[in-house]
Amino acid sequence: MTGNSLGAAKPQLNIIEEVETSLRESSGERRIKILMRVTDLFVGHSQNLSEKETKVFDDVMGHLIKHVESRALVELSRRLAPLHNAPGDTVRSLARNDAIAVAEPILVNSSQLDDADLMEIAKTKGQPHLASIASRARLNESVTEVLVDRGSPYVAERVASNPGAQLSPLTMEKLVMRADGDENLTASMSRRADIPPAIFRNLMLQATDEVRSRLLANAPSEQKKLIENVIDDLSAQVGKRSSAPPRDYDAARRTVAAFSQDTDLVKRKILEFARMRNIAALVTALSVLSGIAIDQVETLFLAPGCFGLLVLCKSAMLDWNGLCAILMARPKGAVCEDLYRHYEELTSSSAQQLLRFWVGRQKMAKFVVGGARAS
């Protein structure tokens, strides 16, 4: 502090000397009163405090918050969150508090948290903490990647609907895959101003007719044309699929069962089946390797985009050559743009988590459809 503010505040700084005494007393109320007095003093003079003086407050608050109840910490968090020069260590401690009522004001509003803080909290805390981070006015790509990797459907939707959340192309692809069967996430992704046309097309291809119709009614002119093109493409595909001969998965299961316990051999056979375009055996072997159902592997195999297969192959730890061979075995065999970069950036653990989200959503959607038919 400087000038008159220093002279006015320094006598009040004597309350710092009361901290150690108050901690030795049994009254929790007295400790809270001391913390509130220190907070009042800091907030009242925060604009004029030097870095050294702020550090004094940081040390005192950090000492006190270990010995007061959560209700006092909630108030402290609420008051410090908007301050650009709030005591850094205190703020970071509050942000990591297990009680979301304490952590939320800091996680949502405090500029004292950097990307490293946010990523560490997102990797170690529960979903309420992730949802609070997802609500920040601005989020960088490194943070949104962690939120999408670990977040629940609610967290993913909060990220997608946040215009201040920057998304890398890989994270955007992850969100589109997670949106398969999730109407709220599909709608939020469709409204993003930064979604590339190719990714928007994949989003629409996997959406239900009802969702596409709803989005078409409110879409801007450029997106309307894309949605209409998707609807036309799907109409053409229906006829082709109805005329395609059914695949003999019973025979494929018997073939793959002979070597299904040997993971290395399964991977070699996948390459062989892909080059032979033996789709039933290829899909069955991928099902064995990935641990997901044949019909789910087939859905990813026949999907218009490449990203779902990329996730499947990465989660099963197939190499790049294996992925390319599988992609070329599809009806319109091709390797999608940017796929190699995504394959290098995506970790196996992230792919496995994303695949689990997708499988869970597919099971839920199937259950809902089955229930609707039964009724």
Show me where the domains of the chain are located. Answer: 3-195, 249-362
pLDDT tens column, 93-137: 999 999 999 999 999 999 999 999 999 999 999 999 999 999 999
Q: Which amino acid is at 295?
A: D
Tally of CB atoms within 10 A around 227: 21
What is the reported pTM?
0.86
Lowest mean pLDDT among 33-37, 82-86, 129-133: 33-37
Confidence at residue 53, expressed as pLDDT on a 0 to 100 scale: 87
pLDDT tens column, 183-218: 999 999 999 999 998 899 899 989 888 998 898 888
Lowest mean pLDDT among 15-29, 30-44, 71-85, 114-128: 15-29
Q: Is the model more confident about 1 or about 51?
A: 51
Query: Residues for the chain: how many in total?
Result: 375
Q: Is the model more confident about 366 or about 56?
A: 56
Determine the Cα–Cα distance for residues 354 and 346; give it in Å rounded to an integer.
10
Confidence at residue 370, expressed as pLDDT on a 0 to 100 scale: 54
Confidence at residue 219, expressed as pLDDT on a 0 to 100 scale: 83
If phi > 0 it is left, if psi is from -120 to 50 it is alpha, else beta; for residue 293 that is beta
What does pLDDT average to over the chain?
Answer: 88
Determine the Cα–Cα distance for residues 206 and 179; give it in Å rounded to an integer.
8
Sorting pLDDT into bands at 50, 70 and 90, what band is 69? confident
Lowest mean pLDDT among 230-244, 277-291, 313-327: 230-244
